Amino acid sequence: AAGLALYFYNYSTWRAKAGIYLEDLYVREGERGHGYGQRLLGELAKEVLGMGGGRLEWSVLKWNEPSIRFYEGPSVGATRMEGWVGMRVDGEALGKLAGRAV
């Protein structure tokens, strides 16, 4: 395989529609630039539309400028979600939070 897309289905309460969250997109280094990333994302877009969904979304590290250029370019057409901040609880904080559950 030239690459893979790891994803899961989600639901947007904002749009009242299902969607897909892309957890990871990987194309082997020697296969990059041949359209595989675009095709993988295109298949996910078809899946979203086929289920009557509203969006395909993912996160990308700020320093990963080559990927950002690819995602924002004409072959994908993604836009940055400027109004959102990613949040995470892990490690010791995750254990503390779990301890607060009733």
SS3 84: coil
Q: Which domain holds residue 20?
A: 3-99
> Which member of 7, 9, 36, 71 is catalytic?
71
Active-site annotation holds for 9: no
Based on its alpha-carbon atoms, the radius of gyration of the chain, rounded to whole angstroms, reads 16
Q: Are 37 and 3 in contact (CB under 8 A)?
A: yes
Note the pLDDT of residue 102. Answer: 84
Q: For each of the chain's 102 residues, which pLDDT tens digit applies?
A: 999 999 999 999 999 999 999 999 999 999 999 999 999 999 999 999 999 999 999 999 999 999 999 999 999 999 999 999 999 999 999 999 999 998
The number of folded domains in the chain is 1
Burial of residue 47 (CB within 10 Å: 0-12, 13-18, 19+) is middle
For residue 89, what is the domain's CATH number?
Answer: 3.40.630.30
Coil vs helix vs strand at 46: helix
Question: What are residue 58's DSSP bridge partners?
Answer: 22
89: tokens are 């609880």
